Structure formats: structure tokens, C-alpha cells
Amino acid sequence: MIQIKSEAEIALMRRAGVLVGETLELLRAAVTPGVSTAELDAIAEANIRAAGGVPSFLGYHGFPATICASVDDEIVHGIPGPRVLQEGDVVSLDCGAILEGYHGDAAITVAVGAVSQQVKELMRVTEESMWRGFAAARLGGRVSDISHAVEAYIRSQGDWGIVEEYGGHGIGTEMHQDPHVLNYGRPGRGPKLQKGLALAIEPMVTLGSPRTRLLPDNWTVVTAEGGWAAHFEHTFTITERGPWVLTALDGGAAKLAELGVTAGTG
Ligand code: MG
Ligand code: MG
């Protein structure tokens, strides 16, 4: 079911979104060679709870942690634990929080120390494709306008793998709602983009084949052939003024301005 939120509800989603965005900035600052993914998880849980929030991933279908930490060839849903990050790794950190009943969901991929130029480019293309998705979202447009913009940007940048088995989603009083938002496809399809709709956009891009495999822990999704992956995500809504990125601390203003798009506000 697609949930349309009132302005007051979107204002609550903004509060949840800022909490998620601030938590991810704490995590970004804590990523360094020698830190374990369990330590990052503890930082996130403490920050969310200190603000009166609830970590939404913890207990979700039995998931045992506050964040997903996916390293190198892990794409998404990695379980934090004793693994220590090494110089040259990349780690995707996905974080969700509930505040006053509303969800925020966002992810960043962070380099651990110095990484190769190819991995830097992988991260850049993935993040930029997400912003192209927001920039393509217009009131009265369709969900697949976003999908198309994400794919078109990635394809324009070279030979990258686009993960097809996972994608973005509606979000509100639950973390995962309709509609599903593919990271590829033709524009002009799917539900209408309307005021009060909130979506998480989350491209996952790989070096080499984008085919995936599930590890025996039944959570961690890795690339089938071992190529490294990047994953970025933000939760956003569309206002009359423009897209409002609820989990970006500036609402998306700076990145959208680079693309010639005015960001929305509450
Ligand atoms: Mg997420
Ligand atoms: Mg999500």
C-alpha cells in the first residue's frame, strides 16, 4: 500500500531523517583502519537512543544490529561484528531510525584510508546516480522516472554493474512500503509522484557482474563473482518547490543546486 503523508507527518519524517543523517556522519568520522563493524554499530545505536529514537533495523525480520555494514564485495545487509576494517577496504553503512513513529533510512559507502582510483570512481558514480534520481523526480511524474535517471547516469559513466534484485521503496510509518523503486528501467511508468509520498532511493553498483549471492548467514548479500560494490541511499519527498531529501542534513540543497534543481523544504 502506498502511504500519503500530511505535511505534519512529513515534518516528523524530517526529524527521523536528520537523526539518521547525523548518525551516518558520526559513523563516517569513525571509519578508520582498525575499527570493527561492531564498534560502528554501537556508535549508531547509542546516538539513535540518546535522541529518543529506536533503531529500526534491530529485530527487523530478526536482523541482529542497528546498522548494516557491508565490506568490499558485500553489497548490502552485512551484519556488524568482530571484522576489523583494513586500509583499502570500502564499507557501506546503512542506518534506519524511528522517531515518533516515523522512519528515516539512508546509507553511505566510505573508503577506509586510501583506496584505489577505480573504487573511488565506483563510489562517485553510485552516489551521483542517486542524486540524478532525486533531480528527475517531479510532482505528476512517475516512479520509474527516478529509476531511469539512476540507470542512465550509471550507464553514461562506463561499464558498471547495476544490482537488480534490490532497490528503493516507499517509507513512512514502516521502513518498507510500496512502491518498489528499481534502479533501472524506462521512464513514465509506475505510481504517480505526488505530494506526501516519501521514497528511499538506493542504487547499488558493482565492479564486474552485478549478480548477487546470499551468504549462509541469510542476510549478507555479496556479488556472485567477487567484484566490490558501493551503495548510497537517502529518504526523500517531493514538494511544490522541489525534492526534499529528508535524511540529508541540508535537505539536499547543495547537491541538487549542482544539478540545477531547487531543493524543497518544510
Ligand atoms: Mg537502508
Ligand atoms: Mg532502504
Distance (Å) from CA 80 to ligand 1 centroid: 14
- pLDDT at 93 (0 to 100): 99
Distance (Å) from CA 96 to ligand 1 centroid: 6
The number of the ligand nearest the C-alpha atom of 68 reads: 1
Distance (Å) from CA 107 to ligand 1 centroid: 6
Distance (Å) from CA 105 to ligand 2 centroid: 5
CA 227 to CA 160: how far, in whole Å? 11
Average pLDDT across the chain, whole number = 98
- pLDDT at 118 (0 to 100): 98
CA 208 to CA 13: how far, in whole Å? 36
Residue 262, pLDDT above cutoff 90:
yes
Distance (Å) from CA 77 to ligand 1 centroid: 9
DSSP assignment letter at 183: S
| Contact present, 242 and 248 (Cβ < 8 Å) | no
- pLDDT at 71 (0 to 100): 98
User: Average pLDDT, stretch 15-30?
Assistant: 98
Distance (Å) from CA 175 to ligand 2 centroid: 7
User: Average pLDDT, stretch 22-47?
Assistant: 98
Residue 27, pLDDT above cutoff 90:
yes
Distance (Å) from CA 95 to ligand 2 centroid: 9
Distance (Å) from CA 265 to ligand 1 centroid: 22
Distance (Å) from CA 25 to ligand 1 centroid: 15
User: Average pLDDT, stretch 68-95?
Assistant: 98
Distance (Å) from CA 88 to ligand 2 centroid: 26
Distance (Å) from CA 246 to ligand 2 centroid: 13
User: Average pLDDT, stretch 156-182?
Assistant: 98
Residue 7, pLDDT above cutoff 90:
yes
163-to-65, 167, 196, 237 alpha-carbon distances in Å:
24, 8, 28, 24
The number of the ligand nearest the C-alpha atom of 92 reads: 1
| Contact present, 14 and 266 (Cβ < 8 Å) | yes
Distance (Å) from CA 225 to ligand 2 centroid: 24
Distance (Å) from CA 153 to ligand 2 centroid: 20
For domain 7-258, the CATH architecture is Alpha-Beta Complex (3.90)
Residue 266, pLDDT above cutoff 90:
no
Pairing state between β 234-238 and 198-201: antiparallel
User: Average pLDDT, stretch 58-85?
Assistant: 98
73-to-10, 98, 216 alpha-carbon distances in Å:
35, 29, 15
CA 264 to CA 58: how far, in whole Å? 31
User: Average pLDDT, stretch 141-158?
Assistant: 98
- The predicted-structure confidence for 189-224, as pLDDT tens digits, reads as follows 999 999 999 999 999 999 999 999 999 999 999 999
Scan for cell 564486474, then name that residue: 208
Distance (Å) from CA 266 to ligand 1 centroid: 23
Distance (Å) from CA 69 to ligand 2 centroid: 14
User: Average pLDDT, stretch 138-157?
Assistant: 98
Delimit the domains of the chain by residue range: 7-258
